[in-house]
Amino acid sequence: MMHFKSLSQMDPFILVDGYQLPDGLFNQISTLFITFFVEGKFYPMFSLLFGLGFYIFYDRLLQKDLRAGRVFSRRLTFLIILGLIHLIFFWQGDILFTYGITGFLLLFFISRQPKTIMIWSVVLLAVSSLVVSLLYAIIGWFMQFGMQTGAIPLSEFQAMNETTLTVMADGGYWEIVGFRLADSIFAVFGNILLIPTILPLFLIGLYMGKTGMFHDIGAHISRWKKLCAHSLWIGILFSVLTTAMMHDLTPIPAYIAYGLGYGIRIFTGPILMLFYISALLLVLRKETRQSIMKPFASVGRMALTNYLMQTLILVFIFHGYGLGLYGQVTSGAGILISVGVYVFQVIISTLYLKKFKQGPMESLWRKWTYKNV
């Protein structure tokens, strides 16, 4: 929502000033809530599920004596093509392309021992976190230094931001696509650089699949309980730290703190994510509680369709060829819109799956994957 409705991380001043809190108590609380509980915690959850889904998918193909590597490669190719279309013609925040590219690396880990997989995951996350922390902090320092000395003209950045706001809020479809084209091409290559931060999250899911943590919860209940308890206090502790650093609420200069906080969150965000998953799993062990979650399960069964549907809904709300509300929606209102869109998707998904077994994009994806198999 933040990326759809505003400049968000496209604003270069964030690297110097950090995320400045907006006016109004409700908007400030909303902003801090998002940074603390949501940002950097939910894309790791989706990534973990991708890795788990890979293991289940691959294992079933082997049981059917099919060429698992080839079939999975076709599945990923669909994501890459769809992701490129999504990225260039609708929204540069696409994740499908990155997931499709990164997914091929899972094939190198499918035969590895769980311990090896977990070591790779931890090391990749740690190294990625360190590199991004240092890189962003250095960039922030150089920008601050350049602005102070006049080597980097503030007026150019301000003019760029104003132009973006105007085009996104008032431009037509092709005008916006053309305006975003350079950023979209950069995003294609930039997203490839995200692979070291996404792959380790896939590997966590693969690890959990290979160890049977989801398949036989009872046998791993003590592990789930320990994971729930420790991921809670560790996740909360580091969320306090990274939220304070990214919002310039520490004695550290904002142009250093933001980059460090952003990078540290790459490693620590998934920890709080593991609390969300383990706590939900423990709560839902009873079948009576599982029935309450069925509407949410419907959304999950149509994850790809709903992901793309969100884009269509939100570009209509914020782009100039729709309602043109880009740059005009506060943090608090953004949360309310997010909840509204999700409730709408719960209803639509539930009704759709009463008549069909899969969502429309899931059905197309399946046909592509199994063609000539």
Q: What is the pLDDT of residues 205-256, one digit of tens each?
A: 999 999 999 999 999 999 999 999 999 999 999 999 999 999 999 999 999 9
What local confidence, expressed as pLDDT, does residue 190 receive? 81
pLDDT at position 130 = 96
Please give the pLDDT value at position 39.
93
Six token digits for residue 142 = 């150089």
Query: Residue 34: pLDDT band by 50, 70, 90 thresholds?
Result: very high
Q: Is the pTM of this model over 0.85?
A: yes
Any idea which of 61-70, 96-105, 207-216 has the lowest mean pLDDT? 61-70
Cβ-Cβ contacts under 8 Å for 3 (sequence gap 6 or more): 9, 10, 93
CB neighbour list of residue 262: distance below 8 Å, 6 or more residues apart? 132, 133, 136, 242, 246
Region 88-99: mean pLDDT is 92
Q: What is the pLDDT of residue 157?
A: 82
How confident is the model at residue 149, as a pLDDT?
85
What average pLDDT does range 299-322 have in this prediction? 96
9 has pLDDT over 80: no
Q: How far apart are the first and last CA of the chain?
A: 39
Indicate the average pLDDT of the chain.
93
Q: Which two tokens stand for residue 176?
A: 């916006």
Share of the chain above pLDDT 70, in %: 99
Q: How confident is the model at residue 184 (pLDDT cuts 50, 70, 90)?
A: confident
Sign of the CA dihedral with 318 first, then 324, 330, and 335 last? negative
The domain in which residue 343 lies consists of 2-370
Give the pLDDT score at 192: 81
Structural domain count, the chain: 1
* Least confident interval from 29-38, 141-150, 299-308, 337-346: 141-150
Higher-confidence residue of 104 and 92: namely 104
Going by pLDDT thresholds of 50, 70 and 90, the confidence category of residue 154 is confident
